[in-house]
Each structure stands twice: as structure tokens, then as C-alpha cells.
Amino acid sequence: MKFIAKLLVSTLAVLIAAWFLPGVTLSGESDSDRFLTGLMVAVALAFLNAVLKPILVFLTIPITILTLGLFFLVLNALIILLADKLVNNFHVNSFLTALLFSIILSVVTSVLEAVFGTNKKEENK
């Protein structure tokens, strides 16, 4: 149940971030089509962050140390550009747009998780 809640929060964050940035397009004929596209983007990002990102982080440790961790932003943008290629009806115009999208997505996700409480650990009773 917690996974579904986090997935819905991520979907809402994708929809909000896409609304803010003019270079990000979630296309569809209706609002429900755009919601499904946002859901597919959230699933693709969750999968890529779980499978591909740890490998990329490991391979780029030297440059990440050299840039004091700022290279993580580049990795996030690359993951979003890969999600652009994987998900139909989702388009990101440029690398800079993907970078801004990743920052806005992180902030919006953090705020929504704080509001809905999906990131809290369950208390033992």
C-alpha cells in the first residue's frame, strides 16, 4: 500500500513539474491520458533509479568527488532523458530542461511526501 501511495505522489509531482516547465510535454487527448502518461513516467523513473542509477553512481565516483557531488544532478538529468526515450507521450526538449525538471521534481516530491506523510516510518505498536 505504501508503494502505491509513493507512486501516486511521484505521479502528482511529475504532473506539477511538467506544468511548471514549458520544455516538458505530457501529451494526450484528455486529462486522464496525461495522468496515465505521468504515471508511466513515475514508474519508469522509479525503475531507472532502482536499477540503473546505482551502477552509474558507482562508475562516476571520481567525477562526483571532484565536483563535490554536483555530478548527481547530471545523473538525474540523464535518467530523465532516458525516461523520455522509454515513455511515449513524454518529451523533454533539452538537457538543461531535464536538469531543471529533476530539481523541480525533487522539491515537489519532498513537499508532497511531507504533506501526505508517505515518507514516514511506521510506528511499532
**Residues 17-26: pLDDT tens digits?**
999 899 999 9
Quick check: helix, strand or coil at residue 59? helix
Cross-strand partners of 26 = 90
State what percent of residues in the chain have pLDDT above 70. 94
Residue 24, phi then psi, degrees to nearest 5: -110, 130
Q: What is the pTM of this model?
A: 0.87
Quick check: helix, strand or coil at residue 89? coil
pLDDT of residue 75: 96
Q: Mean pLDDT score of the chain, rounded to an integer? A: 91
Local confidence band at 31 (pLDDT 50, 70, 90 cut-offs): confident
pLDDT of residue 30: 87
In this structure, are residues 27 and 34 in contact, taking their beta carbons and an 8 Å threshold? yes
From CA 26, how far away is CA 15, in angstroms rounded?
8
Asked if the model's pLDDT at residue 80 lies above 80, the reply is yes
pLDDT of residue 2: 85
In the structure grid, which three cell numbers stand for residue 19, read together?
Answer: 506544468
pLDDT of residue 117: 79
Residue 120, phi then psi, degrees to nearest 5: -80, 145
Average pLDDT over residues 78-83: 96
Quick check: helix, strand or coil at residue 124? coil
Local confidence band at 54 (pLDDT 50, 70, 90 cut-offs): very high
